[in-house]
Amino acid sequence: MKKYIPNSITSLNLFSGCIGVVMALQGNYLMAFYCVLASGIFDFFDGMSARALHVKSLIGKELDSLADVISFGFLPGTIMFMMLKESTDSQYLPYLGYVMTIFSALRLAKFNIDTRQTTDFIGVNTPMNTFFIISLPFIAQDYPVLHNVFLLLGIVAVCSFLLVSEIKLFSMKLSSLAWSANKFKYLFLLLSLVLIVLLKFLALPLVLVLYILFSYLHFASVPNEASANEVE
């Protein structure tokens, strides 16, 4: 029975994503956020359980990507669709929010065949992008400028680019707990937690910026560490 556990967790990710889409279409962004959070948790634990139980499978990998297309592709696209719908009288412009869904699917397909992404990411991963997008309706309550249709379309364009970009970003999978090898990951986690406690939803765009910044610092330090090891 243990071989079914990871796929069952992945299915919960998919189910949560489906509910999140319905909540977003109803304008219930808080419930949509909880669904994104649940999907993120399920997405984290399905891979962990597969490794722990030694039951990795090709179908599990494919199912994971299919679930992520809904939870971290269709759902953020729907949120952008709704925000654009609330921000313009145009009948057609809101559908451009789903451009992000297309690029999320491209990002997931690219990840599946890109051997460079076995330990780290190239391009912003879809869960990180989704947590950024789900924060926007809440931030817009205090900063109405986010209801500007051109700003929203700009966000769709920038996020779509980042999803399929060649920017190298670290994964939170740790090969060791050593500070020297993971200092920028630890600093990123610590600062992100502090920001979330202090700023709540407003922190999520800052977390995305920190993720990109600390990833750059992490990979910039790798050659220096390698050179130091060679000297030693």
Distance CA 212, CA 176 (A): 22
Q: Give the H/E segment covering residue 209.
A: helix 203-231
pTM summary value: 0.89
Q: What is the pLDDT of residue 175?
A: 67
Tokens encoding 182: 């993971």
Torsion over CA: 54, 170, 203, 16 (sign): negative
Distance CA 77, CA 71 (A): 10
CA dihedral 19, 24, 28, 33 (to 10 degrees): 70
- Residues 131, 86: contact at Cβ < 8 Å? no
Distance CA 52, CA 191 (A): 29
Summarised one tens digit per residue, pLDDT across range 97-152 is 999 999 999 999 998 888 888 788 999 999 999 999 999 999 999 999 999 999 99
Residues of the chain below pLDDT 70? 175, 223-232
Q: What is the pLDDT of residue 97?
A: 97
Tally of CB atoms within 10 A around 18: 17
- Residues 203, 196: contact at Cβ < 8 Å? yes
Angle at CA of residue 44, ends 39 and 46, nearest 5°: 90
Q: Give the H/E segment covering residue 20.
A: helix 5-25
- Residues 13, 67: contact at Cβ < 8 Å? yes
Q: What is the pLDDT of residue 227?
A: 37
Tally of CB atoms within 10 A around 24: 27
- Residues 18, 35: contact at Cβ < 8 Å? no
Angle at CA of residue 104, ends 100 and 106, nearest 5°: 115
Distance CA 126, CA 71 (A): 9
Tokens encoding 113: 């065949």
